[in-house]
Structure 1
């Protein structure tokens, strides 16, 4: 009986002391950087069968932590190269988010269920290549409302 209670108390202590499961995608300091100057370029000229990057969620303005889900699609028998995925927070200067999302990248896409961001609007670009070296890219805006 004592052992069961002790194990229960130990398990509860571990749960309470464990860090939040949310992954910090953009920090407060990065959110304060100035926006990029001019248009955001996404060049696809001459690329006929490059991979497609589709932004799935979150939808409209949501609070943080939020799910961040993107889907990758390749064509012509090529496969997505997960090591080629690059994510940038478009600011001046740009912030490379690649290392933060790497654990959530698969050939099918990105599935980060608890992305932590401060309130605001964030323009993000994701680049990917397929096994034939063809690039694909998308630019999307995350709108985070206050908690």
Structure 2
């Protein structure tokens, strides 16, 4: 029968090999994740550049013509252009709101409706919650590492 010291030594030997493999796996995953993050950042920069060039050249060439010349799908070209517009819009909105632009009726707000043909004006009805969200659980933010 093995002594307690011998058992401890055997467990440590078995754990050492497993620990070395675990350490190697963790290091490799970390390296690959860093490499992926760098490439994702490069891709985002390229897509931003694509959107900028698409927007800048829209007065001389449209998406369909670009698609014919480049063999790129219209959907990709449109997505890159629209992503650029969305990002620009997001950055400008807070400044516009700070300047008091929220009351600007040129942004799609309609004028009050005036009753016609002897229709009596009705007070607005209270908002009714959508049926698909009444019992929906609250969203919980999750930390991603």
TM-based fold match above 0.5: no
- Give the TM-score range, shorter chain: under 0.3
Compute the TM-score of the two structures, normalised by the length of structure 1: 0.28
Whichever structure has more strand as a proportion of its residues is 1
Compute the TM-score of the two structures, normalised by the length of structure 2: 0.28
Larger RCO (CA within 8 A; separation ≥ 6): 1
